[in-house]
Amino acid sequence: MASDGGYNSVDLTWSQCSRQQLLTFFSEGKAKCVTDLPALGGSLQDWKPGLYYGVDDQCRIAFGSTARACSFTNPDLPVCRVLSCHVNPGDDSSCKRLLVPLLDGTECAPNQWCLKGRCVSPDQLGSSVVVHGSWSSWSEFSPCSRTCGGGVTFRTRQCNNPRPAFGGNDCEGRDIEAELCHQQPCDLTQLDFMAQQCSQTDSDPLYLLTNTASFYTWIPAVGFVKGDEQCRYMCQSKGENFIVSRGSQFVDGTRCEPDSPAAFGSVAACLRGKCQLFGCDGVLHSAKVRDICGVCGGDGSSCSLTSNSYSGGQARGRQSTKFSLVHKCNSGIHSMSPSSLSVLAGDQYIVSGTGSMAMNVTHPSTLDDDHLEYRLFLTPDLLPQMEELLLPGPLEQEINIQVRTA
């Protein structure tokens, strides 16, 4: 039974020599390692090994843990007679081939499976029994992807125990479970974290023309792309205003903008190159949201609505008011008269403050949890009509609202 062979051979069959050596091994009492009781009770189904070990698995066994099935085929080589694998991570341009047939039961085409080096139908395979897919065990949870700011830890399972075959059903349920971890704030904002990843590629050349390397300063492409596309390491060239993917994907836990607005308290974060929604409990796809009081999974009964109004101040003057909104949720401020709002947090103006009206502002950014939103509404004549300040909260510091009257 050879470990490799020549093309058109079927080397995974037993020779007379191999058969005799195995019988001798058992008869001489050297096989005590196989006398222990199996971990699983019952008898095994008469299913082919390829239903349990797909081409990716066979590649990993032959070439190492990073190997995977070749993404293209050679028409001169029947698919079931040669194991073809990508062996270098990230390189899909070449394949290494081992002249051994794929395991019997390996899927080789729609509704066809390998049998002794041939791609055959279920009838030819000798199986009339429908095989429904069953899940493998869960993997261990991965290490947290970030040290602060909300990384992701996840575990996966595969529908390969066995794989569905002969018209059988796929496994039901999800193949991944994930949670947010290390959620204590970082010194950097979520936008800063994305910007840091983009800037790390500044020294990597971009070849817009053949054999001509160009270098750019890369910044986040926030506002230009959303959803899964944003998570594919999309960055904008500063000053040039074009967008390019600078790698395979952002670090898991990098915040993203979902294609449609997320519910209050949900967190949109990149996970394996996709923009995924985590509930307010930090669990992937839990759909748990905060109520109007900011309570995760609450019913809105733990707080009460407070509203007030203010009018006054001198014409063409600036009225400064410190709003005590610390730990308050879903706060809103509306200015209905000709005026100009400025917002001061600590010693930094985050809205206006220059003497002229601000346009729309999101602080620190749309990627950051509990960001502040300022919106300016105009009349049909493009004159200021109303200013709106929305603070989802809960706020961690007092803010100073300044109003300049006309």
pLDDT digits over 216-225, tens only?
A: 999 999 989 9
Burial of 152: CB neighbours in 10 Å, binned 0-12, 13-18, 19+:
buried
- Is 33 annotated as contributing to ligand binding? yes
Task: Answer with the residue of higher pLDDT: 273 or 341.
Answer: 273
- Report pLDDT digits (tens) over 111-151: 899 988 999 988 777 666 788 999 999 999 999 999 999 99
Instruction: Answer with the residue of higher pLDDT: 189 or 347.
Output: 189
Distances (CA, A) of 312 to 3, 154, 309, 352, 404: 89, 55, 10, 21, 11
Distance between terminal CA atoms of the chain?
92
pLDDT at 1 (0 to 100) = 47
| DSSP codes of every residue in 44-85 | PP---GGGTS-HHHHHHHHH-TT-EE-SS--TTS-GGG-EEE
Whether 199 has a pLDDT exceeding 90, the answer reads yes
Report the distance separating Cα 278 and Cα 288, nearest Å: 8
Q: What is the mean pLDDT of residues 88-99?
A: 87
Biggest alpha carbon–alpha carbon distance for the chain? 106
Q: What are the residue ranges of helices labelled H in 172-331? A: 190-199, 227-231
Q: Choose between 327 and 97: higher pLDDT.
A: 97
- Average pLDDT of the residues in 278-305: 89
**Residue bearing the bigger pLDDT, 8 or 161:** 161
What the chain holds in terms of domains, given with CATH numbers, is 16-31+42-125 (3.40.1620.60), 190-278 (no CATH), 318-405 (2.60.120.830)
pLDDT value at 324 more than 60 = no
- Residues 252 and 247: their CA atoms lie apart, in Å, by 13
| Average pLDDT rounded to a whole number, residues 192-210 | 93
pLDDT at 315 over 60: no
Cα(156)–Cα(65) distance, rounded to whole angstroms?
Answer: 16
Is position 280 annotated in a ligand binding site? no
For the chain, percent of residues with pLDDT exceeding 70: 80
Q: Are 248 and 234 in contact (CB under 8 A)?
A: no
pLDDT, residue 305, reads: 77
Q: Is 60 exceeded by the pLDDT of residue 10?
A: no
pLDDT band at 257; cut points 50, 70, 90? very high
Residue 230: predicted pLDDT: 96
Query: What residue type is 321 in one-letter code?
Result: T
The total of other beta-carbon atoms located within 10 Å of residue 28's CB is 8
- Give the bridge partners for 131, in sequence order: 165
Virtual torsion, Cα 244, 246, 252, 256, nearest 10 deg: -20
CA atoms of 384 and 378, how far apart (whole Å): 5
Q: How much is the mean pLDDT over the chain? A: 83
Least confident window among 128-142, 174-188, 390-404:
390-404
Per-residue pLDDT, 5: 52
Q: What is the pTM of this model?
A: 0.71
pLDDT at 358 over 50: yes
Q: Are 176 and 156 in contact (CB under 8 A)?
A: yes
Q: Is the pLDDT of residue 205 over 90?
A: yes
Percent of the chain with pLDDT over 90: 42
- Give the lowest-confidence range in 88-92, 243-247, 381-385: 381-385
Distance (Å, rounded) from C-alpha 285 to C-alpha 179? Answer: 10
Q: Categorize the per-residue pLDDT at 281 as very low, low, confident or very high, splitting at 50, 70 and 90.
A: very high
